[in-house]
Chains A and B, each alone.
Chain A
């Protein structure tokens, strides 16, 4: 094994990273947050919950495709311990999973 092989590996990693970000930025419009004055408090909670999910849960795993509402509270409590969520984030996530 020579150092040259791993310099090559590191270059591949950097190249993949740059290409991935560049392809995404050029290929798809970026979602821009906006304020909707007619948005209800419930809608804001949904956004808040979605933010909590994206920033905490999806750091490790993708969202499961569908589950019974009867376990949404258990999932959120499990996530609260695993991801050290705050109480506010726990409530927002619960509302997001079970509106």
Chain B
């Protein structure tokens, strides 16, 4: 189940490179201001996963481009380039490999007012938190995405159409932000999307460092289905402890995950040898509501516990290790994972000095 989110996007490389090139051309057509030079960011990683005795290898690069145009527009895009190696089945020696290059999103943002941003293009579906906030490889604490990720993200994880988002209310004590999208159906290889609409609203209490949100969306093609989501995040203001959780309910299944991580700042600060250690833990359960398995969740009720230990090396490099035990009626199994991720961030070109 290595980075299963990417297996949804196995598309010809030529199209992806063409679209990314188009985005770059649009971005570079406008001279950058000081501080507003287009940037190239992203992550490069190498992951291994041993599941039931079979080891898979996954080198991956996720470049991200962000380019401001004028004072109100931002063009941004992220792609994923990967090559996965997995053992041949049927007692045959050697490995099989598969490559994939695909756009994750390509969107234009117009900041219309302090509370209102219009997004157009191919965007990440704003359902719960994981899909549009935690999927970059340089952010996630674990290699594997949660079991319930596929609920509410309309299959591909991205929508083609428009979205409005922003903060509705911003006070010192609390903020409320929102996102509403409409996506049309697209069978294009690079812009695969389902017709649907929905949104998310989030309340954030800065003093308590508590975030609570509700999500809803509806699939508007084939059998119309509703998806409901809720999330709660909390982090301690004076420790390196963080707790994240999500619940999602679909027509045929539902589930939740809870993830805790702790940066050991008590032993010489976050940048000390000990402080760079980051124990992480995730607990998740999925429940089938009927026997129709069309949502990407396991076919039977499943429980899983992940124990991880990450290490944040200097120079934006991170080592991820984890052990997981997955329990279900079809059999229990172990998953061992290791990986290393390097995050890069630099200007697309040398910007003008102010």
Main secondary structure of the interface of A (DSSP, over half): helix
A1 touches B266 (CB 8 A): no
Q: Please, how many angstroms separate the alpha-carbon atoms of A4 and B283 in the complex?
A: 14
**Residues of A close to B241: CB separation below 8 A:** 17, 20-21, 24
A37-61 interface bits toward B, Cβ cutoff 8 Å, 1 = contact, 0 = none: 0000000000000010001000111
Contact with A55, one of B39, B66, B177, B209 (Cβ below 8 angstroms): B209
Which residues of chain B (292-341) have a CB below 8 Å from chain A? 303, 305, 312, 314-316, 327-329, 332
Tell me how far the C-beta of A88 lies from the nearest C-beta in chain B, rounded to whole angstroms.
Answer: 7
Pick the contact of A71: B312, B327, B347 (CB < 8 A). B347
A-B pair count, CB < 8 Å, reads 152
Interface residues of A in 53-98 (CB under 8 A from B): 55, 59-62, 64-65, 67-75, 77-78, 80-82, 84-89, 94, 98
Please determine whether A23 and B266 come into contact, CB atoms closer than 8 angstroms. yes
Contact check, A1 vs B35: say whether CB atoms are below 8 A apart.
Answer: no
Complex CA–CA separation, A40 to B283 (angstroms) = 47
Task: Indicate if the CB atoms of B285 and A6 lie closer than 8 Å.
Answer: yes
**Is B12 on the interface with A (CB-CB < 8 A)?**
no
A60 touches B139 (CB 8 A): yes
Task: State which size class the interface on A falls in.
Answer: 35 or more
Q: Provide the residues of chain B in CB contact with A98, threshold 8 Å.
A: 35
Is B58 interfacial (CB-CB < 8 Å)?
no
Those 8 A-B pairs whose CB atoms lie nearest each other, nearest first: A1-B327, A70-B351, A73-B35, A27-B266, A24-B239, A84-B177, A86-B170, A73-B36
Interface residues of B (CB under 8 A from A): 32-39, 66-68, 74, 76, 109, 111, 114-115, 117, 119, 132-134, 136, 138-139, 165-167, 170, 175, 177-179, 204, 206, 209, 211, 233, 235-236, 238-241, 243, 258, 260, 262, 265-267, 279, 281, 283, 285, 303, 305, 312, 314-316, 327-329, 332, 343, 345-347, 350-352
Task: Supply 8 further A-B pairs (C-beta < 8 A) apart from A21-B236, A73-B35, A88-B170.
Answer: A13-B283, A59-B233, A61-B138, A68-B347, A71-B351, A73-B33, A78-B66, A84-B177
